[in-house]
Amino acid sequence: MQTISVTQVLSTYQDFSSIKSAVLEYAAWRGKEVHRICGSIALGLPYFSEIPSSCAGYVLSFQQWFERTVEGVHLVERQLSDEVFGFTGTPDLIVTMKGESALTLVDLKTPTLLQRVWQGQLAAYRHLARKNGYPVERVFSLRLDRDGKLPKVKEYQDDGRDLAAFMAALTAFRYFVSGR
């Protein structure tokens, strides 16, 4: 069975057709840059290039949150797999928060509005983390602020419904899109 990424599966349920391609390309580039720089910060690594002005607020937002909130870093942007169900995903961060002993999975976001597909995405990431030896107890999206203010946190509970929805989407993707 060929593995499919979480992003691939859920892309079917996102409609960007009303957004100009140049705007989408720029947002994708900005998101990748923000993730790259924030990953370096989380790992304690220097980044040698200048932070693009369009990314600076998001990076400052992350830095403030990270310094105030995170005690330890266990994973940064590492692909995890489930060979049984045949899917992979790349969580942004797995950390230990200050004052807590449990692991928390954090997904960095640059859009200002919550998106429904994030619930399935983060449920799939939680599943992958646990399957790969990271006993994650908390999961949330961290919506970074473009003006450098503190980010907005949205915690996702583990009631099983979101993972079930993702698994249904994975099955449908295999059947309708990839023919597998």
Tens of pLDDT, residue by residue over 133-176, are 999 999 999 999 999 999 999 999 988 999 999 999 999 999 88
DSSP one-letter string for the chain: ---EEHHHHHHTT---TTS-HHHHHHHHHHHHHHHHHHHHHHHT----SPPPHHHHHHHHHHHHHHHHHEEEEEEES--EEETTTTEEE--SEEEEETT--SEEEEEEE--SS--THHHHHHHHHHHHHHHTT--EEEEEEEE--TTSPPPEEEE----SHHHHHHHHHHHHIIIIII--
* Average pLDDT of the segment spanning 63-72: 97
Q: What are the sequence ranges of the domains in the chain?
A: 4-178
Choosing among 3.90.1720, 1.20.1070, 3.30.70, 3.90.320, the CATH entry for 4-178 is 3.90.320
pTM for this predicted structure: 0.93
pLDDT grade for 23, boundaries at 50, 70 and 90: confident
Section 52-67 average pLDDT: 96
Q: For 98-126, what is each residue's pLDDT tens digit?
A: 999 999 999 999 988 889 999 999 999 99
